[in-house]
Amino acid sequence: MKAAIYYGPRNIKIKEVPEPKVTGTKVSVQFKAGSICGTDLHLYRGDWKIKRGRIIGHDAWGTRADTGKRVVMSPVTSCGKCYYCKRGKQSLCERVLYYGLTKGGFFAETVAIREKNLIPLPNGVSDDEAAMIEPVALALHTLELLHPEVNDFVTVVGQGPIGLLMTQIAKLKGCRVIAVDTQAYRLELAEKLGADYTINASEEDTVKRVKRITKRGSDVVIESAGTQKTVEQTPFLVRKAGQVALVGEFEGYLNLGDADEACFFSTYISAAEYPTAVDLVAHKKVNLQSLITHRFPLDDFEKAIETAADPTQKPIKIIVTS
Ligand SMILES: [Zn+2]
Ligand SMILES: [Zn+2]
């Protein structure tokens, strides 16, 4: 079968590999479509490294070989027995494995995966939408941790796929969203998806504008751009006793001088929100279709990831199909 294999930075290739073995509680899933995530780009650019020869991809769906049913594949496996699993924090499991990172991923014609990692797809979820469930689950998880009040100001820094989902879920929670990015095309989309205010950080001072809009600073700040500059800016955007979510891996040093009693925390992918994410998409509560800017067959994976890493192509979500 064909699969997208990581050989190092800027070196991910489609190769012929043996079919995976289906043993024990695993089932065989025929890959139908997936999407390229910021994590894949970190690997492509060389920010993060994984084992050479590993199949990448962790946001995808397919059909079960045994029943023919459509399923989303959740990329996190947990042991169910450790300190964190027993406290309901399965995504922090001490023996956690991530498909596409610490274990072979989903960009392959066939995937052997544990049955409990499969979430059935209702008819209301289109084939394209099913390929982008991960950022919805991450946005749900982050907003669950923040639990903002109705009418709170939520500043979302970075309007890539994850930021655009944070914007949409914050609107579902009844918040006022301030969307920040350096790219006009992303801000236009953020506005279309419900952002109340947009700030182009390449043209204006984000901190001054947020202070002007909110008077005392944003109740909640979600950092989803992942740059040192935007991480280090967060203490100056949040109000006293506000909350800051640093999404995924981040770098930077926080100057907390003025951020009195504010709460800062990091957040990461969680499998627990996948069923709710699927349900929200099925009921048209979030708009995923408008995030799609490009699509490529799995055979053209190299072109797909090159495009995702090239800002001149104005990528948001890139769909990879079977
Ligand atoms: Zn991801
Ligand atoms: Zn565990």
Structure tokens at 283: 């009921």
CATH topology of domain 2-128+288-321: Quinone Oxidoreductase; Chain A, domain 1 (3.90.180)
Using DSSP, state whether 140 is helix, strand or coil: helix
Report whether 129 contacts 60 (CB < 8 A).
no
Structure tokens at 135: 């950022």
Rounded to whole angstroms, how far apart are CA atoms 306 and 6? 14
Q: Please tell me the predicted confidence (pLDDT) of residue 271.
A: 86
229, pLDDT greater than 90: yes
Centroid of ligand 1 to alpha carbon of 58 (angstroms): 6
Q: What is the CATH number of domain 136-267?
A: 3.40.50.720
248, pLDDT greater than 70: no
Model confidence pLDDT, tens digit, residues 121-146: 999 999 999 999 999 999 999 999 99
Q: Please tell me the predicted confidence (pLDDT) of residue 130.
A: 98
Centroid of ligand 2 to alpha carbon of 91 (angstroms): 8
91, pLDDT greater than 90: no
Using DSSP, state whether 313 is helix, strand or coil: helix
Centroid of ligand 1 to alpha carbon of 224 (angstroms): 12
Using DSSP, state whether 113 is helix, strand or coil: strand
Centroid of ligand 2 to alpha carbon of 129 (angstroms): 30
Centroid of ligand 1 to alpha carbon of 83 (angstroms): 25
Centroid of ligand 1 to alpha carbon of 135 (angstroms): 7
- Ligand number with the minimum distance to the CA of 60: 1
Centroid of ligand 2 to alpha carbon of 133 (angstroms): 23
pTM value? Answer: 0.95
Average pLDDT value for the chain? 95
Centroid of ligand 2 to alpha carbon of 90 (angstroms): 6
192 sits in which H/E element? helix 184-192
Model confidence pLDDT, tens digit, residues 2-45: 999 999 999 999 999 999 999 999 999 999 999 999 999 999 99
Ligand 1 ion: Cβ-proximal residues, 5 Å cutoff: 37, 39, 134
Centroid of ligand 1 to alpha carbon of 16 (angstroms): 24
Centroid of ligand 2 to alpha carbon of 75 (angstroms): 15
Centroid of ligand 1 to alpha carbon of 101 (angstroms): 10
Centroid of ligand 2 to alpha carbon of 87 (angstroms): 9
Centroid of ligand 1 to alpha carbon of 213 (angstroms): 32
Cα-based torsion angle of the residue sequence 189, 195, 198, 201 in order, rounded to the nearest 10 degrees: -80
**For helices 133-146 and 274-282, angle between their N-to-C axes, nearest 10 degrees:** 110
Q: Show me where the domains of the chain are located.
A: 2-128+288-321, 136-267
Centroid of ligand 2 to alpha carbon of 215 (angstroms): 44
